[in-house]
Structure 1
Amino acid sequence: MGYFIELVVSGLAVGAIYGLVAMGFAVIYKATGIVNFAQGEMGMLSAYTTWALATTLGTGSLMTVFLAVLIGAVLGLVCERLIMRPMLGEPVLSVVLVTVGLAVVLRSVVTIIWGASPHKFEVAGADDIVQIGDIGLRVSQLGVLGALLLAVAGFWYFLGHSRFGVAMRAVAADEKTARLMGVSTARVQAVAWASASGLAGLAGALFAVIYGLTPTVFELGLKAFPATVLGGFDSVLGSGVSGLIIGVFENLVGGYLSSTLKDVAGFTLILVVLMVRPYGLFGEKRIERV
């Protein structure tokens, strides 16, 4: 029983990271209708930049988190303004392929600047152990769970109770009608990209603190993608919760079956779920008249 609890708890920690990245996927899809396949790479570049600044300036844990979110948000704004905004009105497939190209470029930039060698992302107190019953958890693992809870609560309030959040939901529901009602779709998309990249930056930095900083951090995008599909592309909060489900399921499969099956466990789960609920666990069923 103790082994099972350990697998679940460690799965929740990595699942929280998946959830943050998955929420970013959903935010951009909700505002623009496209999937940003550079989400993992944006988190990777933000993590490396945060590590470089934190190492140079000697920042504390809270300042490191703030830097990660800020750097990610700025990166998202730059990418949206210089790369994605000129693509407004173009076919969806073309825009998606641009995000694939952006992912390759960002991956190369990280390798050119920092190389392929792994780095230790040290943050004061992150490796301290907190004993909860018979389970020992690092402070960084508890921190990432807290970060996901804050992100879910923040987006719940933002999307449901703020004026800009309502505007974002209006754009997601019907972009043309939202424009006619005076909503600036360009501004909504800019905020969506900044928010999504900020979440990716936070996830990338927290992952690097717990597991180390390597160029393979971009794989977080691939690992988190099933969480977005499972939760529903139109459900930001559901994507965050689904990240926890994917993380726990992966850990249980790796612990009880085989570690080689761990990487495909999330995709296997979404195949099963989508057969029953094609719109995801928390997504809205859309009925179109023809």
Structure 2
Amino acid sequence: MQYLTQLLISGLAIGAIYGLIAMGFAVIYKSTGLVNFAQGEMTMIVAYIAWTISTTISGNLFIVAAGAIISAIVLGLVIERVVMRPMLGEPVFATVMVTIGLAVILRSSINFIWDAYPHGLDVGFGRDIVRVGNIGVRTGQIAVIATLLVLLAAIWAFFRYSKFGVAMRAVAADDRTALLMGISAPRVHAAAWAASSVIAGIAGVFFAITYDLSPAMFQLGLKAFPATILGGLDAVLGSGIGGLLIGITENLAGGYFGSGMKEVAGFLMIIVVLMVRPFGLFGERDIERV
């Protein structure tokens, strides 16, 4: 029972990181109708910037957090303005290929700007062990789970009650009609990319604080993408919950069936779910009338 509980807690923690990145996928898709395959690389870049701040300016948690958030906003806005805005109106396939090219460039920049060695992000928080009975939990794991829950509530309220949230949904549904209604599609796209970059950056910083920082971090995007599909590409909240489900499933599979099964457990899960619900657990079914 103790082993199962430990696996569940660890699965929730890594699932919360997957969920945050998956929410970044869903924010962009819900606002622009585009799948951003550079999400994992954006996660990694922000984490490396946070590590640079901690080693050159200050290791204070709040300074590192503020610097990471600001750099994530700038990164998202630059990508949207320089790379994605010229692709407005182009075929979806071409735009998706641009995000794949962007992912390769960001991934390669790690070795050019930093190095290929693993590092620990030390901000005086995250690796301390809190014991509840015989179960040990890192403070970073508790914090990332709490952060995911807070963001789920905040994003739900944003899309449901704020005018800008409704505008983002309108642009995703039909950007031309939204433009005729006075909604600025470029402004909505810029906000979506900035928000997605911040959410991804938060996930990357938590991962670096709790575990390690390395050029292999881009794989978090590959692990989180099944969570987005599982929850529903157009469901931001569902993507966050999907991350938790994927994390728990992977951890249980790895704990009881070996590491090989852990790598494929998430993809097996989405195959089963999509056979029953092709639009994901929380996604909306597209209905076309002819």
| Class of the TM-score when normalised by the shorter of the 2 chains | over 0.9
Counterpart in the other structure of 1:121: 121
What residue ranges of structure 1 are gaps of 5+ in the alignment?
none
Instruction: State the shift of 1:126 in Å.
Output: 1.9
What amino acid is aligned across from residue 243 of structure 1 in structure 2? Answer: G
What amino acid is aligned across from residue 185 of structure 2 in structure 1? Answer: T
Partners of 1:164 and 1:59 in 2: CA distance: 35
Counterpart in the other structure of 1:147: 147
Counterpart in the other structure of 2:175: 175
Give the stretch that moved more between structures: 237-246 or 132-141. Answer: 132-141
Partners of 1:177 and 1:154 in 2: CA distance: 27
- Three-state SS of the structure 2 residue aligned to 1:148 is helix
Residues 55-90 of structure 1, C-alpha deviations (whole Å, 9 max, x = no match): 222232233233322211210100000000011111
Give the stretch that moved more between structures: 65-74 or 162-171. Answer: 65-74
What amino acid is aligned across from residue 81 of structure 2 in structure 1? Answer: R
Counterpart in the other structure of 1:237: 237
Instruction: State the shift of 1:187 in Å.
Output: 0.4
Partners of 1:98 and 1:88 in 2: CA distance: 12
Residues 165-190 of structure 1, C-alpha deviations (whole Å, 9 max, x = no match): 11111112222221111010110000
Q: Give the total of aligned pairs.
A: 290
Residues 227-258 of structure 1, C-alpha deviations (whole Å, 9 max, x = no match): 00000000001100110000000000000011
What amino acid is aligned across from residue 122 of structure 1 in structure 2? Answer: D
- Three-state SS of the structure 1 residue aligned to 2:199 is helix
Partners of 1:209 and 1:275 in 2: CA distance: 37
Partners of 1:232 and 1:27 in 2: CA distance: 11
Residue correspondence of structure 1 range 140-289 to structure 2 within 5 A: 140-289=140-289
Give the stretch that moved more between structures: 107-116 or 12-21. Answer: 107-116
Partners of 1:70 and 1:220 in 2: CA distance: 21
Would you say the 8 A contact 2:130–2:138 is kept in 1? yes
Would you say the 8 A contact 2:125–2:209 is kept in 1? no
Counterpart in the other structure of 2:3: 3
- Three-state SS of the structure 2 residue aligned to 1:250 is helix
- Three-state SS of the structure 2 residue aligned to 1:207 is helix
Counterpart in the other structure of 1:47: 47
Residue correspondence of structure 1 range 84-99 to structure 2 within 5 A: 84-99=84-99
Partners of 1:69 and 1:221 in 2: CA distance: 19
Q: TM-score, normalised by structure 2?
A: 0.97
Partners of 2:125 and 2:72 in 1: CA distance: 23
Would you say the 8 A contact 2:59–2:122 is kept in 1? no
- Three-state SS of the structure 2 residue aligned to 1:137 is strand
Give the stretch that moved more between structures: 258-267 or 74-83. Answer: 258-267
Counterpart in the other structure of 2:72: 72
Residues 262-285 of structure 1, C-alpha deviations (whole Å, 9 max, x = no match): 111111100000000000000011
What amino acid is aligned across from residue 256 of structure 2 in structure 1? Answer: Y
- Three-state SS of the structure 1 residue aligned to 2:131 is strand
What amino acid is aligned across from residue 49 of structure 2 in structure 1? Answer: T
Give the stretch that moved more between structures: 169-178 or 179-188. Answer: 169-178
1:56 aligns with 2:56: yes
RMSD: 1.0
Give the stretch that moved more between structures: 64-73 or 271-280. Answer: 64-73
Instruction: State the shift of 1:132 in Å.
Output: 2.3
1:137 aligns with 2:137: yes
Instruction: State the shift of 1:130 in Å.
Output: 1.4
Partners of 2:262 and 2:72 in 1: CA distance: 28
Residues 41-61 of structure 1, C-alpha deviations (whole Å, 9 max, x = no match): 011111101110122222322
Q: Tell me which stretches of 4 or more aligned residues in structure 1 moved more than 3 Å.
A: none
Counterpart in the other structure of 1:21: 21
